[in-house]
Structure 1
Amino acid sequence: MADDGMLMNFELGGGPLKPQVKFKGGSWRDRKRAEKSAKLGSRPAAAARGPDDEQRSAKRQKIDGFGSGRRAEGELPHRSDLARKKTADHGAPGQKKHAGPPGNRQVVSRLFSFNPEQKTTFEEEEEWKEPEATNAPLLTVANFGSLTISSRLVETLAKMNLERPTAIQQKVIPHMLSNSSDAFVQAETGSGKTFSYLLPILHRVLLLSGGGEKIHRDSGVFAIIVSPTRELAKQTHTVLEQLIRPFPWLVSTAITGGESKKAEKARLRKGINFLVATPGRLADHIDNTKALNLGTVRWLILDEGDRLMDLGFEEDLKKAIEALKQVEVSNTLASGISLEPLPDRRVTVLCSATMKLNVQKLGEMSLADATFLAVEKGAETVDEQAVHKAPAQLHQSHIIVPAKLRLVTLMAYLKSVFSRRGHTMKAIIFMSCAHTVDFHYELLKIPENAEASQPPSKDAPSKDTPSKDTPSKDTPSKSAQSKDSENVSKTVAKAAYITSAASPEVVLHRMHGSLSQPVRTATLKSFSACKSPSLLITTDVSSRGLDIPSVDLVIEYDPAFSFDDHIHRIGRTARAGRSGDATIFLLPGAEEGYIELLKASGSPSSLSYESVLQKGLMTKLEFPVETTAKPQDGQTYHDKAETLQLHLEQRLLIDNKRLEMARNGFKSHIRAYATHTKEERVHFDITQLHLGHVAKAFGLRDPPGGIGSGIERKAQKGKKEHWRTVKGGKKDDDSDDDGAAKLDQKPARDALMRKSKMLMSGASEFNIG
């Protein structure tokens, strides 16, 4: 190759050669910044950086060496390392540093700044004095015997500590004893509507045995009682069983969804006299159980009529009503016993606390020339104001709490509630949806590993020994006890955070419609029988008709989807003349307008969240899980609240299970917030929610995405399972060999569309489960 005559002269200088470094990892911006710093190698590092870069560089120096292994020269920290370091340092945008001991710096949530201000000013109120109870037994009536019911029934009621009737019982019982006309019964919660229709029915059936010839279980069904939920049906059946215990020749049963249809059909074939049912299962047996003879039925009781319609049972109820109308009334039994003491026609009794349009529709469908029976004197028309009245002895209050402070305020309130020995034994918290219930239950309970390290309580029932809370005469067998213990293993636990010196043990319970029926029944039974201070976290599945003894407090952590549901929620306390308290949590701003609605049901008093925090956090905080956030002596209640919030956030960051539950709870809560009734949506405007602040109430530092994706995903999953069922011939768990109805796709699809419309109108899935 010819020489082109070009000379190239390279002067390397006297210093060592600096190898070229290729930067890897990190973000694009970090790599470019590192390359720029490398090019400016001749300048001092401090001179090449601005003030902001100096802060960023300081943060990067902290990160260097974080994680497993050492990075090669020029390798930047990976994004995952940065995230882990950020988590370890408890940093988050918009949060301030807490000045602590050197090497123990942590981020404290700003709970008391940038919160929306309360718009309503409340005047200082006098101390609430309990008025005379409005649903208590009447003192002017001697006893139930004055209502001319059977003396043996009066004796049974006395054993149940029931001596005098209430106002609604004094009206309904004489009417049903002497008349054969339909009736619409309206009364406030806890006034004893169940006894008002059960006692006259039993009295008239007992008259059939007065001539010496006793009726038996195979004599026929005399009364059908329809309840909207499984829990209410079970409760009504329990009360009925207590009343007929002295009369062994009378038999009752309950048929509900979630139970074995084969076992129910066996009981119906054997014979029963009183049937308590949910609408769907009743319609199913009317279609498919030939042993169910409706000819002897004299009473059809539609309990909680507004709830029956809200839950979309119109078609099932119409089927049952039409089936009864088509069957001729029998005047004598097959054994020749005359049915003359019973009404000469079928009597329908509709019980409801309201007269909404859907209840009027149910009345038109089922009642004929009905008599209106209510406590209001001299009025045969419905007073809408009276419908929305709560018992007078129920003390209502409201707390206006910024969204960021909801969780710590709830814990402080519960801690103060259980700090007075014997003052509050049972409390119920109502929440909007099942995911929210699950998250708060898991957060408030003692973790499994921490619970295992604690010595067992002397009052806690073991899995194989009878509970002290259960009377000896009703003690179930060991197998039944072990089954109940297994059912409640994931729904009953000891509480953390909210205990105190006065209540060192608080028992948590959770219940919602997504749980199986045996689990729901066992949980409700455990809560009712528990002798220790106990707390039930639940959805609206527990809001109607349930009579749980000694409930002292109802907390509406999430406001009800309709005002009628609010009345039924707070009606779980202050029953049968007892006193009770109810507290509702509201957000500042539009939700304050809901207080005007509350005034229609009583005179609610105002509670300041500052006073709740101060009172609840005055005692020492104890955390079941150790984090870097620890309460210190001498802290103000503001500092304690921030420490508690920081601890909860740190706990979720190291617990993936509860973190995922918090995210699901947040998403479901936001979806549920949009399902308030149209009339009340002005107070619950989803566009005014600050999602970042609401996320704080779930222990989250940022609101998770995908709020609307869950519904679509469930719909797609449902379609796939339906196709597998139709194509693969999947057998229903409750199916049996007695000719159950074939799968009909069109009616099922129509029923789904009807219920979907009801969800959009306010009766949402969140009410049910």
Structure 2
Amino acid sequence: MPASAIAGSWASLPTPLTDWVSVYDVIQSMGFEQMTPVQSSTIPLFMKNKDVVVEAVTGSGKTLAFAIPVLERLIRRETRLRKNEVGALIISPTRELASQIHSVFSLFLSSQPSEPVSDPENSPDLYLKPRHAFPPPLLLISSNESSHAQDIQRFIETGADIVIGTPGRIEEFLLGKGRAVVNVKELEVLVLDEADRLLDLGFQASLTRIITHLPKQRRTGLFSATMTDANAMSELVRVGLRNPARVVVKVQSKRIKNVDAGKLLGKTEIIEERRTPANLQNFYITCRASEKTIQLCRILKHEIEQHSSSRFIIYFATCACVDYFYRVLPTLIPPSMALYSLHGHLPPATRTKTLSSFTTHATSPQNPAVLLATDVAARGLDIPDVDVVIQYDPPADSKTFSHRCGRTARAGRSGRAWALLCGREEDYVDFLAVRKIPLKRHSYFADDAQPFPTPEDDVRPEDDAVVAATEKIRRKVATDRGLYDKGVKAYVSFVRAYSKHDASYIFRIKDLDLTGVAKSFGLLRLPKMPELKDQCLEDWTNADVDWDVYAYVDSAQEAKRLSTVNERKRTTPVETGRKQKRKKVEQAWSKQVAKKDEKERRKVQKERKRKWLKAQQTTAEQPKDPREGHGGDDDNWEDLAREERMAKKVKKGQVSQSGFDEQFFDLS
């Protein structure tokens, strides 16, 4: 850990740690030989009766900043917790992060070898936990290996001082099946990790119910790398913090700028604040949309050859994109690269297995490991030896950009991050600079993975390697129609995600080269999309594929396709020269919704008009009262007709508005 990231030794804490907690080999095994600024600032406050709101860059050691105080507070209790009582509750937004926090606590608890000691003065059903020795005190209730009922059963059998989980599972544990079992009256600490993410996602209702159920006499801590956003800060009152201490650990970097003052050249030192780790080199490359996949492969090659990098994470916009590139990217990279895919649509067991395999994969420059992921792997995951992060697609939420970059350069280590931007997307660099995320431009990589001298798109032709890469992917896709379906799904999902970017004035569909994106995906043909209507298709050529015989590798899918084809042939009418039914014009989903709403509105108007006409007809058919004068209705109709004629003259300018008013309205 560099000196700039050190904020004192663990022995310098105002309140010394309990002997077994301060086992230095446990802390050092996590890469923290000395305290980081966030740890030295937070631990003393949280060990006392103080709520905290902590903001620090990713990889700065926030997990230890709350794990150690939680353990200390539970150990130092004057009265011991009963078997059915919970002392600390830790809530995280994802299963993966919950599992990681669980592993951190497990490291400390496994360092205490003492066995539970029974208390003969108490009944067995009120089993008391020794003050300085923990029985199995840790319960992870967001594991894919257990159900809600199994979580409750484990708690009944072993008890738990500390419960870790996601909001939904925590709510069910406390307020659902576990309401009559779990006692939170003695709860000491509540921790919300990645608090802004918990507040931004759809967890507000669950968190409100959980917090209302907890005792008010507790300590609460909110931890995140991006807590300065107004929407997250406005939720602090709802979360229930009382006069919290705010801890903000800033990262500053020095930049030397040449100045010309009175014709005397000089240099000035500028201090810049940033929300990314100090040891992170954050680059971006501008390229055409058709060249993104080529640049991705060349970045991998450059990092392996020039920096001996061996562990990579590549971020895509959608789950479908991850799923597709996981299958086609091996055609463009060396076979020695081990690929892993992680996204939210995978079953929890698969996600856990993938993350474990990637983390434990023995890597080297000759045998690198690459994880293709969505933003499900952007926050909180601590994989210390990630060398490089590549953002194939910028995230839809700009706050996620710094979290993605923070998967590398963790705990004082160095790392590099790359972002691929196309055309107008380069304005995103200034957008991020305002948010204190600096990016440095890097030259376009040429065919030999060396920087190209002129990276601007407008001074060079399209890379010749685009055609070759597209053909390689197409040959792979042509072997299985299922890959074609995945490619189309990935392409459509990317376009939809792009249109919903929070920086919509930068990421605009009309400015994006959609045919270039299709080339980078290696599509066999363009899908039918309204977004492609105004695109120039002159440089696009469909692959030469016989679609009648293009088959699925999966036998069940192929049988279904053949059945559909035969049914279509059987039911399709023979051409008889009659005018065929016009095909329905495809529209964007937003236009379809608007058209449906307009249709409903017209339907309501027609119904109202029908009822009015019916009422008028009923009135006309009723016999007139003989006592009424004759010609009254005719006079009214004549007045209305005269007024309408005069209104038309006003509209044409033949009569003034004042003249119209004088004739038909009493202005006296």
The TM-score normalised by the length of structure 1 is: 0.58
Whether contact under 8 Å (1:528, 1:548) holds in the other structure is: yes
Mapped pair 1:262 → 2:149: yes
297-306 or 159-168, larger mean C-alpha shift: 159-168
2:651 paired residue number = none
Change (3 A) 1:313 1:370: same
Cα offsets for 1:146-181 (capped at 9, x unmatched) = 76112222213245453211001001111122x212
Which of 185, 196, 204 aligns to 1:295? It is 185
Structure 1 position 660, deviation (Å): 1.5
- Any residues of structure 2 matched to 1:67-106 within 5 Å, and which? none
Whether contact under 8 Å (1:418, 1:498) holds in the other structure is: no
Mapped pair 1:226 → 2:94: no
1:598 paired residue number = 432
1:536 paired residue number = 371
Mapped pair 1:522 → 2:353: yes
Which of 301, 307, 313 aligns to 2:203? It is 313
Cα offsets for 1:274-331 (capped at 9, x unmatched) = 00111111112222212111111111111111100222100000000111148xxxxx
Which of 370, 388, 408 aligns to 2:244? It is 370
Which of 32, 37, 42 aligns to 1:172? It is 42
Mapped pair 1:183 → 2:14: no
Q: Distance in 2 between matches of 1:519 and 1:141?
A: 40
Secondary structure of 1:154's counterpart equals coil
Structure 1 position 597, deviation (Å): 2.6
Mapped pair 1:403 → 2:268: no
Change (3 A) 1:254 1:591: same
Structure 1 position 133, deviation (Å): 7.3
Which of 471, 495, 512 aligns to 1:689? It is 512
Structure 2, gaps ≥5 residues long: 113-133, 252-270, 453-460, 532-668
Counterpart AA for 1:646: E
Structure 1 position 649, deviation (Å): 2.4
Cα offsets for 1:100-136 (capped at 9, x unmatched) = xxxxxxxxxxxxxxxxxxxxxxxxxxxxxxx9676x3
Change (3 A) 1:267 1:386: farther
Larger RCO: Structure 1 or Structure 2 (Cα < 8 Å, ≥ 6 residues apart)?
A: 1
Which of 301, 312, 324 aligns to 2:214? It is 324
- Any residues of structure 2 matched to 1:168-567 within 5 Å, and which? 168-177=38-47, 179-208=48-77, 215=80, 218=83, 220-247=85-112, 248-256=134-142, 258=144, 259-270=146-157, 271-288=159-176, 289=178, 290-325=180-215, 345-352=217-224, 353-366=226-239, 367-375=241-249, 389-420=275-306, 423-445=308-330, 497-499=332-334, 505-532=336-363, 533-567=368-402
Mapped pair 1:674 → 2:560: no
Q: Distance in 1 between matches of 2:438 and 2:234?
A: 32
Whether contact under 8 Å (2:84, 2:156) holds in the other structure is: no
Cα offsets for 1:563-583 (capped at 9, x unmatched) = 211011101111111111010
Structure 1 position 387, deviation (Å): 8.6
Secondary structure of 1:301's counterpart equals strand
2:489 paired residue number = 664
Secondary structure of 1:671's counterpart equals helix
Secondary structure of 2:191's counterpart equals strand
- Any residues of structure 2 matched to 1:48-127 within 5 Å, and which? none
Whether contact under 8 Å (1:670, 1:707) holds in the other structure is: no
Q: Distance in 1 between matches of 2:2 and 2:68?
A: 26
Change (3 A) 1:371 1:386: farther
- Give aligned-pair identity as a percent: 31
Whether contact under 8 Å (1:554, 1:581) holds in the other structure is: yes
Mapped pair 1:153 → 2:25: no
Number of aligned residues:
470
Change (3 A) 1:704 1:310: same
Change (3 A) 1:428 1:293: same
The TM-score normalised by the length of structure 2 is: 0.66
Q: Distance in 2 between matches of 1:387 and 1:291?
A: 49
Whether contact under 8 Å (2:470, 2:521) holds in the other structure is: no
Q: Distance in 2 between matches of 1:257 and 1:249?
A: 20
1:86 paired residue number = none
Structure 1 position 388, deviation (Å): 5.5
Whether contact under 8 Å (1:554, 1:570) holds in the other structure is: yes
Whether contact under 8 Å (1:403, 1:697) holds in the other structure is: yes
Whether contact under 8 Å (1:217, 1:251) holds in the other structure is: no
1:97 paired residue number = none
Structure 1 position 269, deviation (Å): 1.7
Counterpart AA for 1:397: F
Alignment RMSD (CA, Å): 2.8
Structure 1, gaps ≥5 residues long: 1-130, 327-344, 378-384, 446-495, 619-635, 709-769
Whether contact under 8 Å (1:388, 1:564) holds in the other structure is: no
Whether contact under 8 Å (1:145, 1:151) holds in the other structure is: no
